[in-house]
Amino acid sequence: LTDAGLRTSGPWPTRAELTTMASYCDYVNKDGCTADDVERMLAALVDAGQLERTPEGFVLRQPFP
């Protein structure tokens, strides 16, 4: 989403992009991650104030770890 913190804003991921992100998470973690799981992860980041969802997409609100 943020290119390891290099991008501080951008478009919100499409369902297809969420699926690709989930596939990568599953490849790394072997946890069966789905697009819905990625949506929940992003929602948790929004709730924590680390990410803001905007009409244009997203804004990174805290430095990437």
Question: What's the predicted TM-score (pTM) here?
Answer: 0.88
Number of domains in the chain: 1
Query: Does residue 15 form part of some domain?
Result: yes
Which two structure tokens, joined as six digits, stand for 30? 């072997």
| Mean pLDDT over each residue of the chain, to the nearest integer | 95
pLDDT at 2 over 90: no
pLDDT of residue 14: 97
Residue 2: inside a domain: no
36 lies in some domain: yes
Cβ–Cβ under 8 Å, residues 60 and 45 = no
Is 1 a member of any domain?
Answer: no
Confirm if 42 and 61 have CB atoms less than 8 A apart.
no
Query: What pLDDT is recorded for position 56?
Result: 96
In a domain, 4, yes or no: no
pLDDT band at 4 (very low <50, low <70, confident <90, very high): confident
In a domain, 3, yes or no: no
Give me the domain span that covers residue 41. 9-60
